[in-house]
Amino acid sequence: MSATLNQITGPAYTRIYSYGAARGENAVPNDDLIGPIDSSDEWIRQRTGIVTRVRADKGTDAIDLATTAAAEAIEKSGVPADQVDLVIVATISNPKQSPSVSAIVADRVGANPAAAYDINAACAGYAYAVTQADALIKSGAARYALVIGTEKLSDIVDPADRSISFLLGDGAGAALIGPSDTPGIAPAVWGSDGSKADAVGMNGTLTEFRDGEVPWPTLRQEGQTVFRWAVWEMAKVAREALDRAGVEPTDIAAFIPHQANMRIIDEFAKQLKLPETTVIARDIETTGNTSAASIPLASHRLMAEHPELSGGLALQIGFGAGLVFAAQVVVLP
């Protein structure tokens, strides 16, 4: 008779315990960027809502930013670092192809030997990672998960590119996720549309750069394509996330979309018919677009400025290069 394998199950529910954040050391106003793109402060503000963005020192990388954000999230959570048994890092700006950011951060914050891996889902990366952490904890594969979005996008910016360079900033946001007695993370709506992969992404490969065929690869986008996709298609995804959570727009205390563009954020809110009482994250105004870091950074700032939101429902949605997307409703810590 063959042996029967043991199986495990975890808790029925999970929740976010705390947030942590790290922003680049330098505030970079629009006036510092307008020369190479032949633009103006007014043009950037009108098109994006950005007044300034944060960028890191040359000696600071995405791993450093992630470590700072992770340490704050652990400290605020009350969970000892050595009990964190899963670290997921969402990033497109690991300074090396290998090793992973997650394994280094796990060691730095005292979570070694936690399971650790990186994911690349661009601006949807954090929401992807939350979805995975929720599932892995409920399966019994982990108990406490550290989810981090971290980017140093200033390393992959062409200052003369008018399509995206003035949007981007550097930073990291982290969340500590663990078991809950009540539902704290609703089912996600996630997916991709690879047929539009050329709409936003890198303009070359590392092997092409190595072989002298292209300059250092940087981010580019087709602005109008991305704008239309984000506003019209992602509004549908957000509404589906509300349906899966079993809630109405009037139940949402906070709306935390990827900080891509202020016009997209405002149009989102209008499409979703969110009530005036819903607090809308607009971290992009002074942080810029930080890709995978933008949702946790915006969440961290929102909770600092509006502590009364604790225990309320937040709708978060990430979308970006790929074109990948993920949306879910969460209970704010």
Question: Active-site residue numbers?
Answer: 123, 258, 289
Structure tokens belonging to residue 220: 């580019």
Q: Which residue, chain included where needed, has tokens 């007014």? A: 42
- Distance linking the first and last C-alpha atoms of the chain: 49
Q: In Å, what is the CA distance from 144 to each residue of 13, 79, 256, 327?
A: 12, 8, 23, 22
